[in-house]
Amino acid sequence: MSLSQTQLADLVRQLEERHTALLEEVRAALESSENLQYIELLDRAPADVGDESVADALADLNLAIVDRHVRELRDIEAARARVADRTYGVCVDCGDDIMPERLHAWPTAKRCHACQQQRERTFSHEGTPRL
Ligand SMILES: [Zn+2]
């Protein structure tokens, strides 16, 4: 892996901050909707080990208002899992190191730039909707 310990720690911090911010957005979305009972689910979730199940539990609710958040939470949780098993920063397709600049811009990236472009050409319907 081409990342230094400092870079990795910085990226992990970015992931944690985004995760926390997302959960706050989910909470706000639930509070402003008819789904107050689900806020309890967020309060019950343990801060460290149980995070994995937060996205799953939210996904089970199948609420359109938190759908986008759930997808991003899953991306972050997947990135944290890669940090834990030391595959973070390594492209899942070709096994090359992902450029640190790319990870800083997009901490949940799991592919190098070349593989991502290849994938977008192959699955052009995926990714951001084109209006
Ligand atoms: Zn690659």
Distance from the CA of 52 to the center of ligand 1, in angstroms? 26
- Compute CA distances 91 → 1, 110, 114, whole Å: 10, 6, 10
pLDDT at 59: 80
Distance from the CA of 18 to the center of ligand 1, in angstroms? 25
pLDDT at 49: 45
Q: Annotate 28-55 with DSSP letters as a single string.
A: HHHHTTT-GGGHHHHHHS-SSTTHHHHH
Distance from the CA of 107 to the center of ligand 1, in angstroms? 15
Distance from the CA of 38 to the center of ligand 1, in angstroms? 39
Distance from the CA of 110 to the center of ligand 1, in angstroms? 9
Distance from the CA of 39 to the center of ligand 1, in angstroms? 39
Dihedrals phi, psi of 121, to nearest 5 degrees = -70, -40
What average pLDDT does range 5-22 have in this prediction?
Answer: 95
Distance from the CA of 89 to the center of ligand 1, in angstroms? 10
Distance from the CA of 33 to the center of ligand 1, in angstroms? 41
Question: Alpha-carbon distance 57 to 89, whole Å?
Answer: 27
**pTM above threshold 0.95:** no
Lowest mean pLDDT among 13-17, 78-82, 109-113, 119-123: 119-123
